[in-house]
Amino acid sequence: MQLDAGAIFSGKVTGITKFGVFVDIGEGRTGMVHISEVAQTYVENIADFVKNGDEVKVKVLSVSEDGKISLSIKRAQEQPKRNGPRPPAPVPDRPTAREWTPKRNENMSFEDMMSKFKQSSDDKFSDLNRKTGGEIRRSPKRGQK
C-alpha cells in the first residue's frame, strides 16, 4: 500500500487521547488524526465524535521521514454545502473593500505632500503646546528618581 499525501483510506479507531485519535489503516500502519482534523466544527471532546473500534474514512496529510503518518477525518469527507446567507451583492458605483480606489494625494508632487505633512505636524504640535502650557512632562528613566 502506497502512502501518499492526499490518499484516502478506511481505518479503525484504535486509541483516543485528548489531543487526537489513532487510526489503524491496515498492514500494521497506524496514523494520528489531530483534534483539529476530527470534524468540520470545533471539537472540545473527541469522544463526542468517535469511539474506539469505529470505522472512519481518513485522508493522508503527510508522512514524515521517521514514518509518522498524519491523517484527517474532516478532509476525507465532502465539504458541506453552505446554506447560510450569501454576502450582499456590490452596489454599483460604490467601491468595495477589494476594489482599488485612487488616493487623494495621488496627483500631488512629493514636495506638496511634504509641505502638507509639515503643516499638519505643526498644527498638532501647536495644539499640544496649548494644552500642556508649553511643558512636556517626561517620566524618569529606569533606575533614576
pLDDT tens readout for residues 12-34: 999 999 999 999 998 889 999 99
pLDDT tens readout for residues 61-99: 999 889 899 999 999 987 656 666 666 666 666 555 555
How sure is the predictor about 49, in pLDDT bands with cuts at 50, 70 and 90?
A: very high
Place of cell 511634504: 114
Provide the grid cell at 15: 486509541
pLDDT tens readout for residues 106-140: 677 888 888 888 998 888 888 888 877 766 666 67
How sure is the predictor about 52, in pLDDT bands with cuts at 50, 70 and 90?
A: very high
What's this model's pTM, rounded to 2 decimal places? 0.53
* Strand runs labelled E in 1-145: 8-16, 20-26, 29-34, 55-63, 69-72
60 CB-contact burial (10 Å; exposed 0-12 / middle 13-18 / buried 19+): buried
**What one-character DSSP code corresponds to residue 73?**
S
Which residue segments constitute the domains of the chain, with CATH numbers given?
8-72 (2.40.50.140)
Q: Which is higher by pLDDT, 59 or 136?
A: 59
